[in-house]
A and B are shown apart, each in its own frame.
Chain A
Amino acid sequence: QSVLTQPPSVSAAPGQRVSISCSGRTSNIGNNYVSWYQQVSGRAPKLLIYKNSERPSGIPDRFSGSKSGTSATLGITGLQTGDEADYYCATWDSSLRSGVFGGGTKLTVL
């Protein structure tokens, strides 16, 4: 059971927009920064979003992040078949004194 809660799967058609939620508590998302990772099958996770909404260089602006209270959201617009992957949120939990992850969301581009 992951500390952060994500939907197991989401799907949308090419060109459409999808949102992936990440729900936590005050001790984690509420008081700390959230990052998001993309993991294509068989590969290592790749940083997509850090500091809630910042994109590393090389990450297209189709990917966006936001945070409100104890929840965070990853948005992907203009979906492409290459976006099919698992997506994970992560943050620090001040009560657990540990990094924590969401359980991951599998994105299917229909």
Chain B
Amino acid sequence: QVQLQESGPGLVKPPQTLSLTCTVSGASIRTSGHYWTWIRQFPEKGLEWIGYIYHSGNTYYNPSLESRLTMSVDTSKNQFSLKLTSLTVADTAVYYCARVPNDIYHYMDVWGKGTTVTVS
């Protein structure tokens, strides 16, 4: 079955840059129509959509994060990645990667287990 696995540092100092990678198994990241997304969950449980990327490299970013965010895809490794710059304690969250099987309907059908990132 399709599985996603996040990887990256658990602790980052401000104002450093966060780099996370999501490895996809059981499916090709190049599947037509499938988008790949990052979502984060703050300690108080609120969820925030970070952005989408398509295997072509097309991206859609949350406008509130756009100035600090870069997403990329490596189809040879079946991975996609996130870079978030100028970190502050407000970026402390659990970061999830997920698959979006159809961007028109905007839903996430497969999620990674999440990785906790603490900015301190």
Contacts and interface: CB of A to CB of B under 8 A. Distances in A.
Interface of A: 2, 32-33, 35, 37, 43-47, 50-51, 56, 86, 88, 90-92, 96-101, 103-104
Contacts, number: 63
Contacts of B113: 43-44
A99 B106 contact: yes
The secondary-structure label for the interface of chain B is: loop
Nearest to A106: B45
A98 B105 contact: no
A96 B49 CA distance: 12
Interface size bracket, B side: 20 to 34
A100 B63 CA distance: 12
B62 interface: yes
Given A35-B106, A44-B96, A92-B106, A101 B48 contact: yes
B89 to A, nearest CB: 19
A33 to B, nearest CB: 5
B112 interface: yes
Interface of B: 37, 39, 45-49, 60, 62-64, 96, 104-109, 111-114
Q: Which 9 A-B pairs have the closest CB atoms?
A: A99-B49, A35-B107, A50-B107, A101-B47, A44-B111, A92-B106, A33-B105, A98-B62, A47-B109
Given A50-B105, A51-B105, A88 B111 contact: no
B45 A86 contact: yes
